[in-house]
Chain A
Amino acid sequence: MEAAAFPWWIWPLALFAVTFLLGIVAVLAGVGGGVLFVPIVGGFFPFHLDFVRGAGLLLALSGALSAGPALLRGGLASLRLAMPLAVVGSITSIGGALLGLALPTSFVQAALGVTILAIATLMWRSKKSEHPGGVRPDALGEALHMHGVYHDPASGRDVDWRVHRTAAGFFAFAGIGVLAGMFGLGAGWANVPVFNLLMGVPLKLSVGTSGFLLSVIDTSAAWIYVNRGAVLPIIVAPSIIGVMLGAKIGARLLRVAPAATVRRIVIVLLLAAGARALLKGLGWWN
């Protein structure tokens, strides 16, 4: 049935319902809402991808800003670690946003599909290291004071952390910024592996700092979409409200829900949404 056959209010209401569920699932699976929102809403709702990407960035930004205070207060995010990388990521996210708004929609849609399929594969195959060993601090990381101590509440001990491969980390976050800006995705799916596996940051600090970093990178890109007029409140507001409420429920379910099963469901969702975006971009399934 044609989307135009429905009254206008069905779509914001459906958006609220879907984003509410995404909020629950995102918390349980440990991913940001943006990475699910853009391909699913872009693929299955009647909104143009330009507006969906703008909403996706604001959605990811709202979640990151809301989670930030608790993470910073608890020492599970580090300003010192994030600040230098955020400058690079925010500059490239502006470039990504401008590029995404300049390229033909079909190209962006197909590239989004490929990116989402790659993210699903990364989530499926990626390893994690709770406390990476063998970190040999480099001169750049030391000069930027990228080191510290955080208290791990689970083990009850203080963990001394430092970074290595700092230059490679800067390059990686430059690339992540481009993808975040171009596709309107939050970038937690990429931040955590780069912090943890590339730079040797302990896993919990990687997850917490990723959220903080995302709030800075997404702010820069979001302004480009706002200034270009690509932010429609009728799409943005129900999405933010839905995801935030869903995330609260998800946080309550966290103790009892089977996280591994939810994560597998998210990977299947990403594969389906990525395939849909790719086929839509190629003009094979409109």
Chain B
Amino acid sequence: MNDQQVYARWLDWGTRLSLAVLVAAFLAYVFGLTPAALPLAEMPRFWRLPLEHYLALSGSPTGWGWVAMLDKGEYQNLVGVALLGLVTVVCYLRVLPLLLARRERLQAAIVAAQVLVLLLAASGLLAGGH
């Protein structure tokens, strides 16, 4: 199986898992099976606000702060979102050893650079503000 086929297989399962988690978490959240940090009935007050005002008024976390609030329904949804954001990283990491084994050093370097960019974006270190 070549690297493209391997990438496709991991991408397929990763995406299915991420979307399943997202849909399950959303249904639990919207039907009140899990408690929400911000009541759903209050959301129209918040979703019209610019981001900075919303954060200040709601006390919502930034970066990976949501992980500490996984007992709340809206933040459980972010597990599915985070998985969607990590699928590509996992797929790239899966094909990296295949490229190295074939001594395709340039392609391997490109894959490594891409993984670093994605992890940097995911880390929260780059998130600026208004």
Residues of A within 8 A of B (CB): 3-4, 7-9, 11-12, 46-48, 50-51, 58, 61-62, 65-66, 68-70, 72-73, 75, 78-80, 83-84, 86-87, 90-91, 94, 98, 101-102, 105, 143-145, 215-216, 219-224, 226-238, 240-241, 244
Q: Do residues B41 and A223 form an inter-chain contact, with CB atoms below 8 A?
A: no
Q: What separation, in Å, do the CA atoms of A221 and B12 have in the docked complex?
A: 21
Q: Do residues B55 and A229 form an inter-chain contact, with CB atoms below 8 A?
A: yes
Q: Do residues A229 and B62 form an inter-chain contact, with CB atoms below 8 A?
A: yes
Residues of B within 8 A of A (CB): 3-5, 7-9, 11-12, 14-15, 18-19, 22-23, 25-26, 29-30, 40-44, 46-51, 54-55, 60-64, 74, 77-78, 80-82, 84-85, 87-89, 95, 106-107, 110-111, 113-114, 117-118, 120-122, 124, 126-130
Chain A residues, Cβ within 8 Å of B15: 62, 65-66, 68-69
Chain B residues, Cβ within 8 Å of A94: 117, 120-121, 126
Q: Which residue of chain A is the closest to B9 with respect to CB atoms?
A: A69
Q: Do residues B114 and A12 form an inter-chain contact, with CB atoms below 8 A?
A: no
When A and B form their complex, which 3 residue pairs have the shortest distance between CB atoms, in order from nearest?
Answer: A233-B77, A237-B26, A72-B8
Chain B interface main SS type: helix
Q: Do residues A216 and B114 form an inter-chain contact, with CB atoms below 8 A?
A: yes
How many pairs of A and B residues are in contact by the CB < 8 Å rule? 188
Q: How many whole Å from B130's CB to the nearest CB in chain A?
A: 6
Chain B residues, Cβ within 8 Å of A238: 26
CB < 8 Å neighbour of A240 from B22, B43, B127: B22
Q: Do residues B130 and A224 form an inter-chain contact, with CB atoms below 8 A?
A: no
Q: Do residues A101 and B128 form an inter-chain contact, with CB atoms below 8 A?
A: yes
Q: Do residues B48 and A8 form an inter-chain contact, with CB atoms below 8 A?
A: no
Chain B residues, Cβ within 8 Å of A7: 41
Q: Do residues A46 and B62 form an inter-chain contact, with CB atoms below 8 A?
A: no
Q: What separation, in Å, do the CA atoms of A135 and B52 have in the docked complex?
A: 49
Q: What separation, in Å, do the CA atoms of A3 and B47 have in the docked complex?
A: 11
Q: What separation, in Å, do the CA atoms of A173 and B113 have in the docked complex?
A: 17
Known: A46-B44, A216-B114, A241-B26. A66 touches B77 (CB 8 A): no
CB < 8 Å neighbour of B117 from A84, A91, A231: A91
Q: Do residues A228 and B62 form an inter-chain contact, with CB atoms below 8 A?
A: yes
Q: What separation, in Å, do the CA atoms of A270 and B50 have in the docked complex?
A: 24
Q: What separation, in Å, do the CA atoms of A28 and B90 have in the docked complex?
A: 31
CB < 8 Å neighbour of A233 from B48, B78, B87, B107: B78
CB < 8 Å neighbour of B88 from A144, A219, A221, A233: A219
Q: Do residues B48 and A79 form an inter-chain contact, with CB atoms below 8 A?
A: no
Q: Do residues B128 and A98 form an inter-chain contact, with CB atoms below 8 A?
A: yes
Q: Which residue of chain A is the closest to B41 with respect to CB atoms?
A: A8
Known: A48-B47, A229-B51. A72 touches B107 (CB 8 A): no
